[in-house]
Chains A and B, each alone.
Chain A
Amino acid sequence: MILALDAEIYNVLCLLFFVILVVIVPVAMWIIAKVLSISKPSPIKNATYECGQVFFGKSHLRFTIHYYPYAMIYAVFGALAIFLLIVAPSLLKLRIAVEYGFIIFSLAILALFGALISLQPRGE
């Protein structure tokens, strides 16, 4: 009995096999741990770790507003980076990109440096 396999189907079969193994490994570790370990919960043991102090206040901290600009910059640059990565394979195949791309890009870099210098905190 010889299995005549299509290359694409074989490809997907390999991935399926791998994914099943990848799912099994951590789950198996968890099951082994569940079998081997004993469970004796106590109020002190299951309290939140506070370096030996009694837990107080809320566990979920607030964070400072100073990091908010970084979130906005990330939204902009994340989109830019993904766009560049997606168009990257065909960028050098376009004559207009090769002819004029570096001019446009140098303007963009100048604008970026301007933004970075203007964002520089005082006293640095």
Chain B
Amino acid sequence: MNIETIIESLVALFINRPFIEMLIKVLIFPGLMFPLLFVVFAVWFERKLLAKVHLRIGPLHVGPGPLGGIFQLIADALKLLQKEIIVPYNAHKILYNILPLAMPMISLAAMAFIPVAPFPSVGPVDYLVVFYTPYNILVVLALFAIHPFLVIGVGWASGSKYTTMGALRAAYQLLAYEVPVMLSAACVVMVTGSFDLIKIVESQANIWYILLLPIAFLVFFVSMMAELGRRPFDIPHAEQEIVYGWATEFTGVHYVCVMFAEYVNLCVASCLVTLLFLGGWLGPVLPPAAWFLIKFGIVVVFFLMGRGVYPRLRIDQLLNAGWRILIPLALIQIFIILVLAKFAPWILPVTFVGG
């Protein structure tokens, strides 16, 4: 066997259609680079946006011209990675070290199930998605539901009063807002007749669900904001009250992992809102992936804007809003869908045969 044959077989193994497609899917677009770049960009954009809202300049120096400050996060991350890993005496050593690392793993794993655009593929569907399953919305919601338990575990394992208090607050908040998230997702699933995010997007060809199911959109958006712990709902962190809530004790790499997981969750939530209510990649003229990114960007701006314009809720206000307003609203939306199915079925995108 001469060297040319070895090179030829290596080329055949790596330079072929399935392998390159796998690299694109897993490494670049819905896969790893998209959430990583999103985190860098979102943190910079959030700082700039809040600075505009507060009439400040914001990050300025690290980075070229109008993008001043864009490399600030990379500098911050490098600085934090050099910091000493401090494990407090009171902490549960194993959980304290493992749980912060598990958080970004769980958050990133959800990206595997999110389809982003049509794409001729070797896989089972012609869409740009890392792993296709017809039940992908269930998997994404289930991965989302693991996050509160990690937060509670982290807060307990840190062994401090502030972290315990933050974990308890996170328990009240995140578990209370799981229910409206599931109910409003159920509205979309009910109208589409499928758990498949691809079918959900394709069924919005005539009318987006933000117009057909406005109450469900409102409920989903607000409860996702609470699930992410963004500003009007950042009671588990609450810097002015309990230092930094459940993440108080974290330094260095643990803190990097926790913040990374929060922003990847923001990415997943924005993808979900785009796919469920804004028609995903559907749109004229521009390529589908561009439409997806435009809608995704608009949703992210709305998520980030909450931090600039709203004050923090008290915990009783938050629980009231969750249990007394959002859940009844979601149930009313389901009721409206049932009335529509009975009296005006032509409005719904999928025609059902009564069985």
Query: A: which residues have CB within 8 A of B?
Result: 1-3, 5, 7-8, 10-15, 17-19, 21-23, 25-27, 29-30, 32-34, 36-41, 43, 45-51, 55, 57, 59-61, 63, 67, 70, 73-74, 77-78, 80-82, 84-85, 88-95, 97-99, 101-102, 105-106, 108-109, 112-113, 116
Contact = CB atoms under 8 A, between A and B. Distances in A.
B130 A15 contact: yes
Nearest to B110: A22
B325 to A, nearest CB: 10
A48 B132 contact: no
A45 B86 CA distance: 8
Interface of B: 9, 12-13, 16, 18, 22, 25-27, 31-32, 81-90, 101-102, 104-105, 108-109, 112, 122-124, 130-132, 138, 141, 156, 159-162, 164-165, 168, 172, 175-176, 178-179, 182-183, 185-187, 189-195, 243, 248-249, 252-253, 256-257, 260, 319, 323-324, 327-328, 331-332, 334-335, 337-339, 341-342, 345, 348, 352-355
A76 to B, nearest CB: 10
A41 B162 CA distance: 22
B105 A22 contact: yes
Given A29-B253, A88-B189, A92-B190, A5 B338 contact: no
Nearest to B131: A15
19 contacts: A1-B9, A11-B124, A21-B32, A22-B109, A26-B101, A27-B101, A29-B256, A30-B253, A43-B89, A45-B86, A46-B88, A59-B160, A78-B179, A85-B186, A91-B190, A93-B193, A98-B352, A105-B334, A113-B328
A116 B342 contact: no
Contacts of B132: 11
Contacts of A70: 172, 176, 319, 323
Nearest to A77: B179
A111 B28 CA distance: 50
B47 to A, nearest CB: 22
Contacts of B86: 41, 45-46
Contacts of B131: 11-12, 14-15, 18
